A and B are shown apart, each in its own frame.
Chain A
Amino acid sequence: QVKLVQSGAEVEKPGASVKLSCKASGYSFTGYYLHWVRQAPGQGLEWMGWINPYSGGTTYAQKFQGRVTMTSDTSISTAYMELSRLRSDDTAVYYCARDGEQWSPTPGEFDYWGPGTLVTVSS
């Protein structure tokens, strides 16, 4: 079955960087784009961007351009999301989610989600 396993909680200081991982199993990792979505405490969902694990191609939300880097390692079916110059308002749960459309170059619905990684930014 499809499974996305995310790395553990992180506590970082303002100005630092964090790199989260999302390990996929149960399907062809290179066949589906992966999205990253975050949710601040008590707030709604915010899309950050997505990656084509096969080519490494990415599309980022403009809000995060220059601060976010999404990468993938096909040899271990793992995607990564690095966020730099952290601020207190980056405190959130970060989810990876699989795009529901195989081989589609345009985004679709998110059919499988990881459990999320809590990132706390605090001095």
Chain B
Amino acid sequence: DIQMTQSPSTLSASVGDRVTIACRASQSLNAWLAWYQQKPGKAPKLLIYKASTLESGVPSRFSGSGSGTEFTLTISSLQPDDFATYYCQQYNNYPLTFGGGTKVDIK
């Protein structure tokens, strides 16, 4: 199975901060990677797919980059609605696997 490692596991930030979350895969994914945002008690929401493609309706402050085994989700200017947990997910190989999550909380 492909192991997905996210860092950090928790991130404390303030509104307006630039935030970066890293995701490393145990083997190459090409660009078959997605990012999701999840708020407590809610289903995950797709933000980015194919490593860098912004899902329709997602604010442009979210961006994704990377290929191979190293990927990054960046929030250019953190907004109050962005405090949540973020997951990366690979869909290059079965079984599809998720990172352990990064919780972004208020500093």
Contact = CB atoms under 8 A, between A and B. Distances in A.
Contacts of B34: 109-110
Contacts of A45: 36, 44, 87, 89, 98, 101
Contact of A107 (B43, B87, B91, B98): B91
Nearest to A61: B95
Given A108-B91, A111-B55, A47 B46 contact: no
Nearest to B87: A45
Interface of B: 34, 36, 42-46, 49-50, 55, 87, 89, 91, 94-101
A108 B97 CA distance: 12
Contact of B95 (A63, A97, A113): A63
Interface in A66-123: 95, 97, 100, 106-111, 113-116
B92 to A, nearest CB: 9
A95 B45 CA distance: 12
B96 A113 contact: no
A70 B50 CA distance: 27
A116 B40 CA distance: 12
Interface of A: 35, 44-47, 59, 61-63, 95, 97, 100, 106-111, 113-116
B21 to A, nearest CB: 14
Given A108-B91, A109-B34, A44 B99 contact: yes
A61 B97 CA distance: 10
Nearest to B99: A44
Contacts of A106: 91
Given A47-B95, A62-B95, A109 B49 contact: yes
Contacts of A44: 87, 98-101
